[in-house]
C-alpha cells in the first residue's frame, strides 16, 4: 500500500511538473529545467542516504574526477572562443508606447506584446484572434497612432497584416525616448559601450528593416535610440 501511494504521488508530481514547464517560454523553461535537475539530484541523494546506499554516490564521484579534470582543462582553452561568441548573443528588443509593450526575442524569433490600455488590457497580442486584433487596430488607429503603428509592425512580422493595412505613421511624431528606453530598444544594458551600441543598432537594422519583415516605425525607433545614446 505505501508503494502504491508513493507511485500515485510520483505521477501527480510529474504531471504538475509537465504542466508547469509547458506554459513557459524558451528562456523561462531553460531556467526551470536547471532548477528541476538540481532538486531531482538533491532528492536522489537524500534517498540514497536514507536507504544506506550513499556509497554509490562516492564511487560515482571518484569515477568522474578524471573526466572533470579533462573538462576543466578544455574549458580554459575554450574561454577565449566563448568570449568571442558571447558578443553575438542577442538580447530581446523592447518597444513601448502608451497602449502596447512589445518584445522581440531573436533567440527564438518570437515577437509578442502586452496590451496596456483599452478593452484588451492585460492580454498578450498572441492571445487575440484575427477579429480581436482588427478591433484593437481600429481603436488604436483613432486614439493612439503610434501604438497602431507598433501593432501593425507586430502583425507584419507575424505574417498577418490584418484588414486595416499600412499605418502611414509620420515618424516625425515619434514619442521621445528616455535613455533607459533607448537601451531597451537596442537590447542593451545601461553599461553598454559605444561600440556595443553601434553593433546593436546595425544588427537590429539588418533584422528589422522593412524589407526583412520589419517596418518603417521599428526602424525609426531603432535609429532614434542610437541617436539618443550617442548624443
Pair (149, 40) in one structural domain = no
Contact status, residue 216 vs residue 210, Cβ threshold 8 Å? yes
Q: Provide the whole-model pTM.
A: 0.59
Q: Of 36, 54, 86, which residue is a domain's last?
A: 86
Structural domain of 106: 93-230
Q: Of 31, 59, 86, which residue is a domain's last?
A: 86
Pair (121, 21) in one structural domain = no
Q: Of 86, 110, 130, which residue is a domain's last?
A: 86
Cell matching residue 120: 484588451
Q: Could you give the percent of the chain with pLDDT greater than 90?
A: 34
Give the list of residues 6+ apart from residue 184 with CB closer than 8 angstroms, or none: 93, 94, 96
Pair (114, 18) in one structural domain = no
Beta strands in 16-134 (DSSP E): 93-96, 100-105, 110-115
User: What's the number of domains the chain is made of?
Assistant: 2
| DSSP annotation of 124 | B
Beta strands in 42-194 (DSSP E): 93-96, 100-105, 110-115
Pair (29, 135) in one structural domain = no
C-alpha closest to that of 125 among 167, 92, 95, 169: 95
Contact status, residue 230 vs residue 197, Cβ threshold 8 Å? yes
The CATH number of whichever domain residue 168 belongs to comes to 1.10.287.110
Pair (14, 117) in one structural domain = no
Pair (22, 130) in one structural domain = no
Pair (103, 209) in one structural domain = yes
Pair (55, 158) in one structural domain = no
Residue 102 has pLDDT above 90, yes or no: yes
Pair (31, 117) in one structural domain = no
pLDDT 10s digits, 214-231: 788 999 999 999 999 987
Give the list of residues 6+ apart from residue 25 with CB closer than 8 angstroms, or none: 105, 108, 110
Pair (192, 103) in one structural domain = yes
Give the list of residues 6+ apart from residue 106 with CB closer than 8 angstroms, or none: 90, 92, 93, 207
Pair (101, 76) in one structural domain = no
Write down the pLDDT at residue 191: 87
pLDDT 10s digits, 23-77: 665 556 667 777 777 777 666 666 665 666 655 555 555 555 566 656 656 555 5
Contact status, residue 204 vs residue 196, Cβ threshold 8 Å? no
Pair (222, 120) in one structural domain = yes
pLDDT 10s digits, 135-157: 999 999 999 999 999 999 999 88
Amino acid at each position: 500500500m505505501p508503494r502504491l501511494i508513493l507511485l500515485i504521488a510520483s505521477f501527480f508530481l510529474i504531471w504538475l511538473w509537465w504542466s508547469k514547464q509547458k506554459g513557459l517560454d524558451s528562456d523561462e523553461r531553460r531556467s526551470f529545467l536547471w532548477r528541476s535537475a538540481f532538486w531531482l539530484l538533491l532528492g536522489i541523494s537524500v534517498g540514497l542516504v536514507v536507504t544506506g546506499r550513499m556509497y554509490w554516490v562516492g564511487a560515482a564521484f571518484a569515477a568522474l574526477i578524471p573526466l572533470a579534470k579533462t573538462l576543466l582543462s578544455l574549458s580554459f582553452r575554450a574561454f577565449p572562443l566563448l568570449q568571442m561568441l558571447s558578443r553575438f548573443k542577442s538580447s530581446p528588443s523592447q518597444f513601448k508606447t502608451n497602449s502596447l509593450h512589445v518584445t522581440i526575442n531573436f533567440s527564438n524569433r518570437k515577437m509578442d506584446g502586452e496590451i496596456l490600455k483599452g478593452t484588451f488590457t492585460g492580454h498578450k497580442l498572441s492571445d487575440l484572434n484575427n477579429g480581436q486584433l482588427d478591433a484593437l487596430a481600429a481603436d488604436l488607429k483613432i486614439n493612439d497612432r503610434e501604438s497602431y503603428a507598433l501593432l501593425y509592425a507586430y502583425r507584419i512580422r507575424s505574417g498577418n497584416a490584418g484588414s486595416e493595412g499600412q499605418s502611414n505613421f509620420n515618424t516625425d511624431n515619434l514619442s521621445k525616448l528616455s535613455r533607459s528606453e533607448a537601451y531597451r530598444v537596442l537590447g542593451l544594458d545601461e553599461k553598454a559601450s559605444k561600440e556595443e551600441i553601434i553593433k546593436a543598432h546595425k544588427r537590429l537594422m539588418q533584422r528589422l528593416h522593412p524589407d526583412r519583415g520589419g517596418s518603417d516605425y521599428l526602424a525609426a525607433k531603432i535609429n532614434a535610440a542610437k541617436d539618443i545614446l550617442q548624443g
